[in-house]
């Protein structure tokens, strides 16, 4: 009896935004999933260079699917993303594909030695390849020569794939620009797992006043939240500079919460104390299960990144909690999730533009209709939606008619 075709995924390490999707593919869509990981450092715990802290994810990243590791941090294997190698990948692939000759293979990246090795091992095999990654043209400036070389290489990679999955509008634009036809593309949105959160209005009622009291913040005050690495590319310091530009009555009503760690921590504290002063709380790094109280205590989320923000999944987290967002034009999620009812987009690196966006949003931040619009905007960017897109691609290379019944709807971008 012929075994059921398998989905084989090759990835550097367990990622908290990917693993729940892989579990959903097997548990909800009945697709046998095996993931070959280069290392288990994200499960074992590691030192993050930008967060400047040691942590391990507080959710189970290995449940619901089969995981195979090429190395383990506790046994001398790679202890960070930068150190992961593809040693043993060819032999592991040979073993799995010998048992599952018609396996469909999914690759979630192309950059770095690990993924280059994966592409090399798979290039001449007959297995159908799927690709889903943070593909975009907007996140990083490149020279004309580097852009040309990148385009030519990616055209070849995408041509080798049976199906390519796009995570949002910027991804779709990039892929179509490099020759992927609409029939080759399937929507598989970028998403966060909301299982560790308490996102609804009942949770807001439980957590908002309690958390504000613990922080010494009055109910009538406006709380602006930043969550992420306190690093220059995220520009958290720009938030304080923008708040200083607000009219005095608005500035005096504001608190800024910084949830995260990084090299700018001390600088943020110093900037907040220079005139005019801004009231600040630096909360440090918080695990996923501790985030909801702070989101519910907040009125507006800010992500003024300067570059390299291919998506910005913390925007998804904020919107799931009903918190509107002001993001810079460098944030990849902006065209998908931010519109007049859910937030505003400002110029990257401009404190004046950020201050203007904050000022425009302040009349809307405490409205229940705004919270409703935020949750509705992100509703189609969930774990099951992402898994459905991959399941569609998987079945389309095996049985095209099945894909028509399963395919997720593309967002209304006016395309």
Helix, strand or coil for residue 156? Answer: helix
What pLDDT is attached to residue 185? Answer: 96
- What is the rounded distance in angstroms from the CA atom of residue 109 to the CA atom of residue 107? 6
7-193+381-406 with 201-378: one CATH topology?
Answer: yes
243 near 254, Cβ under 8 Å?
Answer: yes
In the chain, where are the structural domains located?
7-193+381-406, 201-378
What pLDDT is attached to residue 56? Answer: 67
What pLDDT is attached to residue 163? Answer: 97
What pLDDT is attached to residue 81? Answer: 80
- What is the rounded distance in angstroms from the CA atom of residue 112 to the CA atom of residue 414? 35
What pLDDT is attached to residue 307? Answer: 95
What pLDDT is attached to residue 1? Answer: 42
**Can you say whether residue 372 is alpha, beta or left, with left for phi > 0 and alpha for psi between -120 and 50 degrees?**
alpha
Which long-range CB contacts under 8 A does 277-283 form with residues at least 24 apart?
278/240, 278/243, 278/244, 278/251, 278/254, 279/254, 279/255, 280/240, 280/255, 280/256, 281/215, 281/217, 281/255, 281/256, 281/257, 282/258, 283/257, 283/258, 283/259
- Nearest alpha carbon to residue 354 among 203, 236, 184: 236
- Nearest alpha carbon to residue 92 among 116, 67, 60: 67
Q: Which CATH superfamily is domain 201-378 in?
A: Glycogen Phosphorylase B; (3.40.50.2000)
Name residue, tokens 């095999």: 125
- Element housing 139 (H / E): none
Structure tokens at 263: 């090299």
* pLDDT mean for each 10 residues of the chain (415 residues): 81 96 97 97 75 68 97 88 90 92 95 94 93 92 93 97 97 97 96 97 98 98 97 97 97 97 96 96 94 98 96 98 98 97 98 98 97 98 97 90 57 62
Give the CA diameter of the chain: 76
CATH topology of domain 7-193+381-406: Rossmann fold (3.40.50)
Pairing of strands 254-259, 66-69: unpaired
């Amino acid at each position: 009896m012929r075994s059921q075709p398998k989905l084989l995924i090759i990835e550097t390490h367990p990622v908290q935004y990917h693993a729940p999707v892989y579990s959903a593919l097997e548990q909800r869509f009945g697709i046998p999933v095996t993931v070959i990981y280069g290392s288990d450092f994200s499960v074992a715990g590691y030192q993050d260079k930008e967060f400047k802290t040691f942590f391990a994810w507080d959710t189970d990243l290995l449940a619901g699917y089969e995981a195979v590791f090429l190395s383990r941090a506790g046994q001398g294997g790679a202890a960070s993303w930068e150190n992961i190698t593809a040693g043993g990948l060819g032999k592991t692939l040979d073993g799995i594909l010998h048992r599952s000759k018609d396996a469909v293979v999914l690759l979630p990246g192309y950059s770095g030695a690990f993924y280059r090795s994966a592409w090399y091992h798979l290039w001449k095999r007959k297995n159908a390849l799927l690709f889903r990654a943070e593909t975009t043209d907007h996140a990083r400036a490149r020279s004309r020569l580097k852009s040309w070389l990148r385009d030519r290489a990616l055209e070849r990679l995408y041509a080798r794939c049976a199906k390519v999955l796009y995570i949002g509008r910027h991804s779709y634009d990039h892929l179509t620009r490099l020759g992927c036809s609409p029939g080759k593309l399937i929507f598989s949105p970028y998403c966060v797992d909301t299982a560790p959160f308490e996102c609804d209005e009942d949770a807001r009622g439980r957590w908002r006043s309690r958390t504000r009291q613990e922080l010494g913040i009055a109910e009538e005050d406006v709380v602006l939240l930043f969550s992420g690495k306190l690093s220059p590319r995220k520009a958290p310091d720009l938030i304080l500079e923008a708040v200083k530009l607000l009219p005095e009555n608005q500035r005096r009503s504001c608190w800024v919460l910084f949830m995260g760690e990084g090299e700018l921590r001390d600088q943020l504290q110093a900037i907040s104390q220079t005139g005019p002063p801004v009231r600040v709380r630096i909360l440090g790094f918080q695990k996923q299960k501790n985030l909801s109280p702070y989101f519910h205590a907040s009125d507006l989320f800010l992500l003024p990144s300067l570059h390299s923000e291919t998506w910005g999944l913390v925007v998804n987290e904020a919107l799931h909690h009903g918190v509107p967002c002001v993001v810079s034009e460098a944030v990849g999620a902006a065209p998908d999730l931010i519109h007049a009812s859910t937030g505003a987009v400002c110029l990257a690196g401009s404190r004046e533009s950020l201050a203007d966006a904050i000022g425009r949003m302040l009349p809307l931040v405490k409205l229940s209709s705004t919270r409703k619009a935020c949750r509705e905007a992100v509703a189609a960017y969930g774990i099951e939606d992402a898994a459905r897109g991959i399941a569609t691609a998987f079945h389309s290379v095996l049985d095209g008619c099945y894909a028509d019944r399963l395919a997720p709807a593309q967002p209304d971008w006016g395309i």
